[in-house]
Structure 1
């Protein structure tokens, strides 16, 4: 099957944008399982209407469900096919729509999670929709896996992702395009850490000197951690929770830290540094635990062959795509590290992800949807 069929599919920018807006309007922060499940309901129904066989996979660890959609194919379900891997959770808490309303301003459309990554997920579904309407057969069966916890490192879904990838011949990840419109052929390794400082309580008004503040300890550790950053391995602290009463010296303070490196050996060294942290005083204790980890994904011949096909299709559509290894992990870390040819960053162009200015470039909707359709009609041919 040639990619030529994808070049003539009647994608419509306005129609895609309206559908995407409805997805962005369903707020789905990772830690709100009910909210994520409402989004899974919407996406699962759309995929079912397209004829997919839908599996609703119950969530665990207090997180939301996942949706797996398998499209019937003449070769049967045992044939290794194409896995479209995407997440529907976002970093934006419920109520963000009040501060970041869905709106069009010139060439941009704003909204929570609209770029990372509801935009890419929606155009992947739209690519399948247009292929089905045009009765264009794909050489390989297609499975769509929508997950619930990518924004926190996929602690409840990594096993599911790897199990599906093991059955796939290719993995396509519609995370946002790179700033230059390019795609991702590798990602850095990432490790997360949970820290807890325990101090000594006292009354902050009358017995301040008797206390030992856990908050102060975490503040000291935060400075020390971030000062460990080098070109090879970065360290940052993104979450701190401590204390209950302003008139009490805090007994406990918790923090979450992140380390990222281009090479696995550099991350391993960074992990050793983090686990080797010690309290700065005898009256305060510090505990450091390693959290979820994303392995380094380095491009191999299979990945580059997949990229070459994507670039050829993009050129036929009328644009070019560069490739790069990228920071900021995705579930492509897992599938790429397994050796399954994976292409990431296939989603829409946009910027300001994870902020109150998150937006997409509306003009990228149709070309990127057409690129995904072209890959679906070409891979395995």
Structure 2
């Protein structure tokens, strides 16, 4: 039996995907992420994989490594690198329940990237059931913190990738169904303003508002955006009582650039904003960074060529592009390891209450992964 003709039953796949989606797993809830790892671990174990649970650190959940039996077990092979954390807090299922409506299927984290991980798993599960042997051993590494920049598992991902020939990342497909063969560099920043508290009614003039200063700085930061490097502030926390001048405000910012040197200059500009004015201190601390994954690396393009040929047999054209938005492919691609990213399912609305996938892409992408598992050497 050809790998592309394996019995990928869409109705069955939707039913078995359900537990992955209904187990909510926001990054900052380590216990919830660990519950999701339990769900995946059971499925991998029943498929015949050697499953390892790797403890979490820095307050995040743990990771899961699953390796399938192979005559060359332990030799360099194929790494599927994915994450099981999502941006959706526990309780999102009440607003975005798992449901299938015609050609679409909805749920928190279904597009980014639980369904992608699931179809890669389904591909190897069906290969094992059909007794089809892959030329190379296959390893899955599923991690808990990608949505916040992978602060606790970057080293784990890089070390696992260095032991393998290829890395496949089942992040959501591009809008046209294409893959990602390069990614922009990204830096995160923690911002803090410290002012002076006072009663907002009786002694307003005595206070120095950390919120007001942060608001000014946010406008200044976002005004630094150019075609070469973008800046945005996405998180702000401050205040508890409206009748108090807030003495503390915290925020998080992000910068992104196509070239590493542009990001490095952006980091310098951001750090240079720190200082004191009007009795309010503004602090900038650099957070996690994703290195640029330069596009058109020969190994990655050769990997894409194999995937493109498989896709044509399936019946679609697998385009490729360099993309913004970080993934763990930044790390493996920057190491020079042939990496093919965003070969997960088709869909839209990721990170929103309209997150959904195209149901037909479950079979399409499972076929793609099965083809890659059986043809890469």
Q: 1:176-325 residue pairs with structure 2 within 5 A?
A: 176-279=172-275, 281-299=277-295, 300-325=297-322
Q: Does 1:105 align with 2:98?
A: no
- Structure 1's unaligned 5+ residue stretches are none
Q: Does 1:17 align with 2:11?
A: no
Q: The residue matched to 1:200 in structure 2 has which SS?
A: coil
Q: Does 1:164 align with 2:169?
A: no
Aligned partners of 1:188, 1:17: CA distance in 2, in Å? 33
Aligned partners of 1:34, 1:252: CA distance in 2, in Å? 30
Name 2:37's counterpart in structure 1.
40
Runs of 4+ in 1 over 3 A off after TM superposition: none
TM-score by length of 1: 0.97
Q: The residue matched to 1:288 in structure 2 has which SS?
A: strand
Aligned partners of 1:370, 1:7: CA distance in 2, in Å? 5
Q: 1:114-193 residue pairs with structure 2 within 5 A?
A: 114-193=110-189
Give the aligned length.
376
What do residues 163-200 of structure 1 show as CA deviations (whole Å, max 9, x unaligned)? Answer: 10010100000000000000000110000000110001
Q: Does 1:329 align with 2:326?
A: yes
Displacement after TM superposition at 1:20 (Å): 1.4
Confirm or deny: 8 A CA contact 1:112 1:356 kept in the other structure: yes
Q: The residue matched to 1:168 in structure 2 has which SS?
A: coil
Out of 351, 356, 360, the residue aligned to residue 359 of structure 1 is: 356
Confirm or deny: 8 A CA contact 1:100 1:110 kept in the other structure: yes
What do residues 61-113 of structure 1 show as CA deviations (whole Å, max 9, x unaligned)? Answer: 11101000111210131x10100000000000000001111112221111000
Q: The residue matched to 1:118 in structure 2 has which SS?
A: helix
Aligned partners of 1:337, 1:102: CA distance in 2, in Å? 36
Out of 364, 368, 371, the residue aligned to residue 371 of structure 1 is: 368
Name 1:5's counterpart in structure 2.
2
Aligned partners of 1:208, 1:109: CA distance in 2, in Å? 52
Q: Does 1:83 align with 2:79?
A: yes
Aligned partners of 2:146, 2:246: CA distance in 1, in Å? 32
Displacement after TM superposition at 1:246 (Å): 1.4
Aligned partners of 1:329, 1:7: CA distance in 2, in Å? 30
Q: Does 1:71 align with 2:68?
A: yes
Displacement after TM superposition at 1:139 (Å): 0.4
Aligned partners of 2:67, 2:101: CA distance in 1, in Å? 37
Confirm or deny: 8 A CA contact 2:19 2:39 kept in the other structure: no
What do residues 336-361 of structure 1 show as CA deviations (whole Å, max 9, x unaligned)? Answer: 00000000011000001000000000
Aligned partners of 1:106, 1:74: CA distance in 2, in Å? 43
Confirm or deny: 8 A CA contact 1:217 1:279 kept in the other structure: no
What do residues 106-135 of structure 1 show as CA deviations (whole Å, max 9, x unaligned)? Answer: 211110000000010000000011100110
| RMSD between aligned residues | 0.9
Aligned partners of 2:100, 2:54: CA distance in 1, in Å? 35
Displacement after TM superposition at 1:281 (Å): 2.3
Confirm or deny: 8 A CA contact 1:28 1:93 kept in the other structure: yes
